[in-house]
A and B are shown apart, each in its own frame.
Chain A
Amino acid sequence: MDTEFAQRRRRDLMIAAAFAVIAALLPLFVKDVYVQNIMVLTLMYAALSQSWNILSGYCGQISLGHALYFGVGAYTTTILFTKFGVLPWFGMVGGGMISALIAMALGYPCFRLRGHYFVIATIVIAEIALLLVQNWDWAGAALGIEIPVRGDSWLKFQFTRSKLPYFYFALALAGIAWLVTWWLEDSKWGFWWRAVKDNPDAAESLGVVVFNSKMGAAAVSAFLTAVGGSFFAQYVAYVDPESVMGFHLSLLMALPAVLGGIGTLWGPVLGAVILIPLTELTRSFIGGSGRGVDLIVYGTLIVLISLARPEGLVGLFSRRRKEAAQ
């Protein structure tokens, strides 16, 4: 028997497939390198925000320190490749696994904390990591590491002539992050997480192992974030502490989900599609003449949307859909 929920899930899957096909065809029409760059970044932030959403949206553990996992992914790939000649693909998986382990090791003490104490702990831990890497001479300290060009190939995941391979990888990454969320949403984990978010004490009393649920969410979230970090390192062929571990990254991962709708399947995608092009465009069109205008636009948007639509912009669509169904 088909419940309404099962129907909705199948429809989500079909919509996602349609979007993926449309996105995959976009480069046929968009040849401009500047626009292609925005498309790559949009897909990357959609993937990152989707990963962040697993821990912070579904499970309700608001992290403002995800830059740590992004940085671990970026640095693992880069260090393994430049110092030991290990292919980026191994670095990508390795970085993801290291991040997942770090997330669980940190989660062990941190998940006892609640509310603002937890949020501040995540900020502080990421900040410690940033300071340590800035002072780590072997890893390039504050200057960072440049990834040497070894010729275009999928094996080394380097492309100097075209952005398209990166675009398709970012599309795949966003798709995988979406699919993982889609799959987890209906698994026992998804139900546990929502229970933990809504009322941890009640969840515990009903037999949900709250601690393990949080650990699972943290591991999945950190793994995917680190893969995004590895990708970014390959894409810009350069890592330095501030640009792959800075606090602004933690914020940039959270914002698309916040704008689109926290703890929802489509929120991060919708948020990224609106936010990232808007940021990039304001930065290049107005940002040059009067510095700071991009921040003003961006900040105003965050204030207005979080006040006017606390459930996120996806709320607009679901309401219309509900009305159409009636």
Chain B
Amino acid sequence: MTAETIIQSLASGLLMGLLYGLIAVGLALIFGLMDVVNFAHGEFLMIAMYATFFLFVFFALDPLLSAPFVAAALFVFGAVAYLLIVRFAVRAKANAGMVQIFSTFGLAIVMRGLAQFFFTPDYRSIPQSWLGGKTISIAGIFLPVPQLAGALVSIAAFAALYFFINRTDFGRALEATREDAGAVALVGIDKNRVFALGWGLGAALVGLSGAIMAIFFYIYPDVGASFALIAYVTVALGGFGSVFGAFTGGIIVGLVEATTALIMPPSLKSVGIYAVYLLVVFVRPRGLFGSM
């Protein structure tokens, strides 16, 4: 193993990690807002990938161009999922935690079933796109262009999200609702509206990452499952609810995955991520940046 291969894989690990951060941040946002973990998060990613795929097939739209549309569609989907399901789940008087977990799990199973029914279990991919399959070389290191674009989009999205939360009225409403959902009602903020918009925003972010993932990853009904677990680990590593934590968590996960792949057989590359998650929460039971 030369120094070059190590740098090479750390570089691609970093790119992938930034993308993992973008996949996971919607989860962190929603959790921070209302203490709910969306167990259908991976399926949100899955439908975003399918949407990108079909926009390509029917309208020959490149994933980069369809990304805003996919994000917008997912925004609507996320808000509707909140209004139709989650809104009622958080009201449950008995077994509240359990109801949240299993109502979103049920949604995930339905979405997977619908995808199998309408799209068949076949693996699909976008054969040709502007970025697909291209690599560039920077100082002797080869970087896959789709992942590089994904990393840049991720950094831009995190910057926008930071600006949005800290500088806009809606962002302040979001922060206020997360601090005290009861008190915001007194100043005339409709809690349900903020929650619905929060779900929309979280889903839009995962929609954005889905459009990019579709450039270089296979698309099939179960594709969300593997990324969902990585997203939970990412969010939990950073500390549930912390947007900054999701960003750092993503980078850590990407680097750990790349390092594990260097020293272990590729089929075991996820073991490293899971082991790091356990190590971190055993030492800090609320993740790296979660409030204690």
Contacts and interface: CB of A to CB of B under 8 A. Distances in A.
Query: A and B: partners?
Result: yes
Interface of A: 62, 109, 112-117, 119-121, 123-125, 127-128, 131-132, 134-135, 247, 251, 254-255, 258, 262-263, 290-304, 306-307, 310-312
B227 to A, nearest CB: 13
A113 to B, nearest CB: 5
Contacts of A134: 267
Contacts of A263: 95
B96 to A, nearest CB: 7
28 contacts: A109-B278, A113-B281, A114-B285, A117-B236, A120-B236, A121-B277, A132-B271, A134-B267, A251-B105, A255-B102, A262-B98, A263-B95, A291-B117, A292-B113, A292-B117, A292-B121, A292-B221, A295-B112, A299-B107, A299-B108, A299-B113, A303-B85, A303-B110, A306-B89, A306-B102, A310-B94, A310-B99, A312-B95
B98 A258 contact: yes
A298 B94 contact: no
A295 B113 contact: yes
A292 B96 contact: no
Interface in B211-229: 221, 225, 229
A302 B40 CA distance: 13
Contacts of B110: 295-296, 299-300, 303
Contact of A62 (B98, B265, B278): B98
Given A112-B285, A296-B110, A128 B89 contact: no
A163 to B, nearest CB: 29
A127 to B, nearest CB: 6
A90 B276 CA distance: 36
Given A125-B278, A300-B106, A306-B106, 8 more contacts: A116-B31, A117-B287, A128-B271, A262-B95, A295-B110, A302-B102, A302-B103, A307-B103
Contacts of B99: 306-307, 310
B112 A292 contact: yes
Given A131-B267, A134-B267, A306-B99, A123 B229 contact: yes
B192 interface: no
B278 A121 contact: yes
Nearest to B265: A135
A290 to B, nearest CB: 5
Contacts of A119: 101
Contact of A310 (B92, B106, B113, B121): B92
Interface string B25-47: 00000010000010000000000
A109 to B, nearest CB: 5
A303 B87 CA distance: 12
Nearest to A311: B94
B268 interface: yes
A262 B102 CA distance: 12
Given A291-B117, A292-B113, A311 B271 contact: no
Contacts of A292: 112-117, 121, 221
Nearest to A109: B282
Q: Name the residue in B85, B93, B99, B115 with the highest tally of chain A Cβ atoms < 10 Å from its Cβ.
A: B99
